[in-house]
Amino acid sequence: MKFEQYNIAPEIKRSLEENDFKKPTDIQFKAIPSILKGEDVLAIAQTGTGKTAAFAIPVLDILQSQRRTKESWQVKCLVMVPTRELAIQIADVFKQLGKYTKLNILGLFGGVEQDPQIKKLEKGVDVLIATPGRMFDLIHQKYIDLSRVQILILDEADHMLDLGFIKDIRDVMRSMPRKRQTLFFSATINETIKDLAYSVVHNPIRIQISPKDPVSKNVTHSVAYVEMDDKRFFLERLVKEFPENKILVFVRTKVRAERVHAAMQRVGIETLTMHGDKGQQDRLAVMEEFKKGNIKVLITTDVNARGIDIPNVDYVINYDLPDEPENYIHRVGRTGRGVQKGRAVSFCSTEEKPLLDAIQKYIGKPIDTMTIEKSDYRETIAFSEDIPNNNWRLLLEEEEKNKEKKKRKKK
Strand partners of residue 42: 184, 206
pLDDT single digits (tens) 350-361: 999 999 999 999
Residue 206 clears pLDDT 80, i.e. is over it: yes
Helix axes 51-64, 10-18, angle to 10 degrees: 150
H helices present in 206-300, as ranges: 231-241, 254-266, 280-292
Q: Are residues 203 and 225 in the same domain?
A: no
Burial 33-59 (b: 16+ CB within 10 A, else e): bbbbeebbbbbbbbbbbbbbbbbbbbb
Taking the C-alpha atoms of residue 235 and residue 228, their distance in angstroms, rounded to an integer, is 12
pLDDT single digits (tens) 232-255: 999 999 999 999 999 999 999 999
Taking the C-alpha atoms of residue 322 and residue 204, their distance in angstroms, rounded to an integer, is 33
Taking the C-alpha atoms of residue 392 and residue 386, their distance in angstroms, rounded to an integer, is 10
Q: Are residues 205 and 300 in the same domain?
A: no
Q: Are residues 229 and 341 in the same domain?
A: yes
Dihedral sign (CA 113, 118, 119, 124): positive
Average pLDDT, stretch 329-339? 82
**Three-state SS for 182?**
strand
Residue 394 clears pLDDT 60, i.e. is over it: no
Q: CA dihedral defined by 63, 65, 68, 72, rounded to 10 degrees? A: 0
Taking the C-alpha atoms of residue 17 and residue 11, their distance in angstroms, rounded to an integer, is 10
Mean pLDDT of the chain: 86
Q: Are residues 186 and 231 in the same domain?
A: no
pLDDT at 276: 75
Taking the C-alpha atoms of residue 226 and residue 353, their distance in angstroms, rounded to an integer, is 11
Tally of domains within the chain: 2
Looking up residue 204, the CATH number of its domain turns out to be: 3.40.50.300
Q: Are residues 170 and 249 in the same domain?
A: no
Short-list 382, 336, 365, 335, CA closest to 223: 365
Instruction: Classify residue 97: in a domain, yes or no.
Output: yes
Identity of residue 360: Q
The Cβ of residue 404 has, within 10 Å, a number of other Cβ atoms equal to 10
Dihedral sign (CA 28, 30, 33, 36): negative
Count of helix runs (H) and strand runs (E) in the chain: 16, 14
Q: Are residues 253 and 161 in the same domain?
A: no
pLDDT single digits (tens) 22-64: 899 889 999 999 999 999 999 987 766 788 999 999 999 999 9
Q: What is the DSSP string of 288-326?
A: HHHHHTSS-EEEE-GGGTSS---TT--EEEESS--SSHH
pLDDT single digits (tens) 268-325: 999 999 887 777 778 778 888 888 888 999 999 887 666 566 778 999 999 999 998 8
**Structural domain of 126:** 3-209
Who wins on pLDDT, 328 or 218?
Answer: 328
Q: Are residues 195 and 233 in the same domain?
A: no
Average pLDDT, stretch 164-171? 81
- Residue that is last in its domain, among 209, 239, 255: 209
